[in-house]
Amino acid sequence: MNKALPGREITAEVAIVGAGLVGGTLAAALARFGVKTVVIDRLEPAATIAADFDGRASAVALSGQRFLSAIGIWPHLATQNEPIREIRVSDGSSPFFLHYDHAEVGDAPLGFMAENRHLRAAIAAELRAQDAPPLVLAPAAVTAMSQTADAVTLTLADGRAVRASLVVSAEGRDAKLRTLAGIGVTGWTYPQVAIVATIGHARPHDGIAHEHFLPAGPFAILPLPDEKNVHRSSLVWTERAELAAGYLALSDDAFLGEIQERVGGFLGDLSLIGPRFSHPLGLQFAAQYSKGRLVLAGDAAHGIHPIAGQGLNLGLRDVAALTEIIVDAKQLGLDLAHPEGMARYQRWRRSDNLIMAGVTDVLNRLFSNDVTPLRMARDVGLGIVNKLPPVKKLLMRHAMGTVGDLPRLMRGESLT
C-alpha cells in the first residue's frame, strides 16, 4: 500500500473511509478493476494485524470465499483458514439438536473460519501485489464532508482534502460520515457482552463448529487451523452484561474452568492462547444506504447480533454489490454515483440485511432464556428440522450464502 505524500488536494474516483475488513476488501476489488481509489483510516495499518488488536475470527460463507478468491485476497489465506465441514446446534442439556453436514449438499465446505488479523493481513498483501494499488492515508481522520453536483470533498484533520466522485463509509457502527450526512439509525443494545478468546485443546475439532445455546446466550466454539502443532478454536461466549466483567477478571485457570464447564470434555484438556476480549452487542440499521454521493457499507449500514455468524458475510455482499455497480458504471462511462446505481444498491442490499437483522434478533430472544414453554418449543423445533432433509439442505445453502440475488462475482461470473 502506498502512503500519501503531503499535498493540498488528492483526487480519486472513489474514496473509502475505513480500511477494515469491508473497506479494505472494497479497495482491493475496485483497484483490481482499474478504479482509482483512496482509502482513509484513523488507525495505523500495522496495529490492526497485531494479535492483541481484537482477537476475533470470522465465518466466511462459501459465496464470500468465492468473491475473495475472485479479487485475489483468498490465496493469501491459503494456510490460515479452516473449512467448516459440520455445524452442530444444541440447546442446553436438551437431547434434541440440529446437525449440518456439508456432504449432504455437495463437496464444498459450509464455510471457512479465519482470524480477523489474518484477513486484514491478506487484504494488505493483495493491495501491495496490485499493479496500481489504492492510495492509503493512515492514520488520518475526516473532519468535514461537502457535496456538489459532480463531486464530494472530504477534509482531513491535517488540512489535506480528498475529492472523489463517490465516497463509501465503511467506518463501522459509529460511522462519522453517516452522521455528517444526517442519515438516521434505528437500533438497540442487548443486555449481553461477547467474550472472545482463542483456546487450545488436546483433541482435534475435525472442522466442526459448535453452537451451544445457554440461558445467557449462545456459546460458540469455532474451528481454527492448527498452529505450532496445537489444535485451536475461536470461542465466542455470550454472557449477561452485568456478569461479563467478573469472568474477564478471573485468573487464567479459573477462566479455563468456566469454559470447560460449558464446553464439556469432548475437546480434551484446554489452554488459553493469547488475551481475552469483550465486545458489547447490539443491533442497528441505517434509515437509508446512500445520500447523494455518499454510500454506506458493512457495519456503517447495518450491525447485527453474532448469533448466526453472518456479520462479515453481509458486509462482503455489500462490497460485491457495490463493486459490480461501480465497475458497470465505469465501463458504461456513467457517473460512478449515478442515482439509478445508488438506488439499485439500496434496494438490493437493504432488504437482505434487514431480514438477517430480524432473524438474528428473533433467534437471540428465543434462545437466550430459560423459560420452560419456550425451551420446550425450540427443542422440539430443532428435533423436527433435524429430521427434515429438504429443510436442512435449504438452511445449509443459506448458511453457505449460495441462495438469493447474489452479485456476479459471488456466482463465479466475471464483471468484464
Q: What pLDDT is stored for residue 378 in this prediction?
A: 86
- In sequence order, the β-bridge partners of residue 193 are 239, 280
What does the pLDDT look like over 107-155, one tens digit per residue? 999 999 999 999 999 999 999 999 999 999 999 999 999 999 999 999 9
Q: How far apart are CA 59 and CA 69, in angstroms?
A: 15
Consecutive H or E run containing 284: strand 270-286
How does pLDDT run across 372-385, given as a tens digit for each residue? Answer: 888 888 888 888 98
Residue-wise pLDDT tens digits, 200-250: 999 999 999 999 999 999 999 999 999 999 999 999 999 999 999 999 999
Reply yes or no on whether the pLDDT at 1 is more than 80. Answer: no
Which tens digit of pLDDT belongs to each residue from 171-205? 999 999 999 999 999 999 999 999 999 999 999 99
Q: 473460519: which residue's cell?
A: 113
| Residue 62 and residue 400 in contact, taking contact as beta carbons nearer than 8 Å | yes
Percent of the chain exceeding pLDDT 70 equals: 98
Question: Mean pLDDT for the chain?
Answer: 94
Q: Name the band, by pLDDT with cuts 50, 70 and 90, for residue 5.
A: very low
Architecture category of domain 2-54+74-81+113-188+283-368+407-411 in CATH: 3-Layer(bba) Sandwich (3.50)
Find out whether 75 and 84 touch, Cβ atoms under 8 Å.
no
pLDDT digits (tens, 9 = 90+) for 20-75: 999 999 999 999 999 999 999 999 988 999 888 989 999 999 999 999 999 999 99
Instruction: Name the pLDDT band for 100 (thresholds 50, 70, 90).
Output: very high
Give Cα separations from 129 to 87, 118, 360, 368 (angstroms). Answer: 35, 16, 37, 45
Predicted TM-score (pTM) of the model is 0.95
12, 164 contact by CB (below 8 A): yes
The string over 186-219, giving b where at least 16 C-beta atoms fall within 10 Å of a residue's C-beta and e elsewhere, is: eeeebebbbbbbbbbbeeebebbbbbbbbebbbb
The answer to whether 8 and 160 are in contact (CB under 8 A) is yes
Q: In which band, very low, low, confident or very high, does the pLDDT at 2 lie, cut at 50, 70 and 90?
A: very low
Give the span between the Cα atoms of 318 and 23, in whole angstroms.
Answer: 10
- pLDDT at position 7 is 55
In sign, the C-alpha dihedral spanning 136, 128, 130, 172 is negative
Q: How confident is the model at residue 412 (pLDDT cuts 50, 70, 90)?
A: very high
CA distance 137 to 150: 23
In angstroms, rounded to a whole number, what is the distance separating the alpha carbons of residues 160 and 53?
28
Q: Note whether 295 and 342 are within 8 A (CB).
A: yes
